[in-house]
A and B are shown apart, each in its own frame.
Chain A
Amino acid sequence: MEGALKLWAIIVLVGALNYASRLSFIAVFSRRSIPPLLARALRFVPAAMLTALIVPLVVMPSGAIGPLSPRVPAALVAAIVAFRTRSTLATLVAGMLALWILQALGR
């Protein structure tokens, strides 16, 4: 499958599965409660999946591990700000400023 058709297949299927997850216990399994071990495991989905998504984008933005990019320290600065403020905007501002300063220094 190529191009636009493939993208639409992804949009529809990911959307359908997301909706199925949202609807699951509200409508389909409404008479059942969530198994305790599953409930426990699900709480680690954000930390694990989002970290797996972040790390390659920060460490190897071009697709291969190269010389240490200024993105690594910039992301650490952003992580400290996010940990303290819990604010997306503050995290974005801190991370982008750190990256721009480090890039300017490296030139």
Chain B
Amino acid sequence: MLTVTRLRHLAASPDLRAGFVEMLPACLGLIPFGMVCGVGAQAAGTDAIAAFGLATIIFSGAAQILALQLYVAGAPVAIVVLTCFVLGLRLLMYSAAMAPHLASLPPRWQRGLAFLLTDQAFAAAIRRLNATHDPRQGAHYFLGCGAALWTTWQSTNMAGYFAGNLIPASWSLDFAVPLCFVALVAPLLRSAPNVLAAFVAAVAVLAFGGLPMKLNLIVAGLLGIVAGTLAELFQERWKAR
């Protein structure tokens, strides 16, 4: 169990502090996204505790927004959960990349760090883990990154939730939701297979718009993933010739 002495020892770890401090610039960039997620929860008519639950339990902006959208559209729980699961599949990739670095750590460290595994924490911590030979140092750094992100995420979500109804509808602030995702997707469009995956998903989500329960989202997502994968395989065969 964590004792006060251990916590104090942990807080004194230079690696934990480094992770926390080096994550702060990325946290600044997350402020608008966190606020948009909070505003989204407020606009969906959730109470403050559910908004807090979304941010703490799901702890993934894209999944929170997607879950809220489907909930507002009246999709059944199973469809919401399945669609969010497909979106969350990228976490498997992060988990697999992290696993060898964390293999020698005690299980409670593994379970704790897994909870903090997000796009941003992964990007920051994997660099450090690749660079260090001491998994404990890497784990402390990761914990520092995760703590900075978690705190930023909870506070900005709550700020957005409570500020949401102060912003007039004429500002069209709901448009900030797709813009946050555009900020994530557009930089990926530097490789042809990613472009094709996005294009197929875009066409499919409109073409299958008539499907009930917003099933078009998951169908379009899966078709895009298949298109990107096939395109990349094809590209590699072509280059190998």
Contacts and interface: CB of A to CB of B under 8 A. Distances in A.
Contacts of B176: 92, 95-96
Chain A interface size, as a band, is 35 or more
Contacts of A55: 201-202, 205-206
A53 B217 contact: yes
B180 A88 contact: yes
B80 A14 contact: yes
B59 A10 contact: no
Contacts of B18: none
Interface in A38-83: 38-61, 65, 71, 74-75, 78-80, 82-83
Contacts of A58: 178
B interface residue count range (under 10 / 10 to 19 / 20 to 34 / 35 or more): 35 or more
A9 B18 CA distance: 37
Nearest to B116: A22
Interface stretch (B1-9, B83-91, B147-155, B158-166): B83-91
A22 B95 contact: yes
A31 B189 CA distance: 34
Contacts of A27: 107, 110-111, 114
B88 A21 contact: yes
Nearest to A37: B229
A82 B183 CA distance: 5
Contacts of B216: 52, 56
A8 B53 contact: yes
A51 B110 contact: no
B35 to A, nearest CB: 10
Nearest to A83: B186
B10 interface: no
Contacts of B87: 45, 49-50, 53
A54 B91 CA distance: 20
B96 interface: yes
Nearest to B186: A82
23 contacts: A8-B50, A8-B53, A18-B63, A22-B94, A24-B92, A26-B98, A26-B117, A45-B221, A46-B90, A47-B185, A47-B194, A48-B220, A48-B222, A51-B185, A52-B201, A53-B178, A54-B178, A82-B185, A88-B33, A92-B32, A96-B172, A96-B175, A99-B175
Interface of B: 29-30, 32-33, 46-47, 50, 53-54, 57-60, 62-63, 65-67, 69, 71, 77, 80-81, 84-96, 98-99, 102-103, 107, 110-111, 113-115, 117, 171-190, 193-195, 197-202, 204-206, 209, 216-217, 220-229, 232-233
